[in-house]
Amino acid sequence: MRIGELAERAGTTTRALRYYEERGLLPARRGGNGYRAYDESDLRLVRQIRLLQDFGFGLEETRPFVECLRAGHPEGDSCPASLAVYRRKLDELDTLIGELAAVRAKVRGQLERAEQARARLAAESGRPGGPDPLCETTA
């Protein structure tokens, strides 16, 4: 198949395919007519790259998976190097989840503090909900 068909079947662009080729992830074969020529195995490579990128993997992180497929394994993640990338990505995600949880706790604390301050204002003013704020619009 030619580059346009591969791009369409893989759900990507010809520009992305050329970039994968430049990075050595996609083989650069040419037919007798000089056009790039691809087959079903190339489609599997591109689909593997796209899937991993959809999961948040960087392009270089896809290399072990591509090499695993090229080595003839039916799945790109059955090789030790691919498994190592999965482990690193999970560690990275766990770290990010921890950081997000800490930020969430801080935001929750700020909200609780603000709600308590608002309740104090309401109690002091004797009006339900407190005095009309001068700093915001009402919805």
Torsion region of 73: left, alpha or beta (phi above 0 gives left; psi -120 to 50 gives alpha)? beta
Would the pLDDT of 128 be above 80? Answer: no
**How many whole angstroms separate alpha carbon 122 and alpha carbon 77?**
59
Task: Give the tens place of pLDDT for each residue, 33-90.
Answer: 888 899 999 999 999 999 999 999 999 999 999 999 999 998 999 999 999 999 999 9
The CA distance from 120 to 36, in Å, is: 71
Report helix angle 80-125 to 63-70, nearest 10: 150
pLDDT band at 121 (very low <50, low <70, confident <90, very high): confident
**Confidence band, pLDDT 50/70/90 cuts, at residue 7:** very high
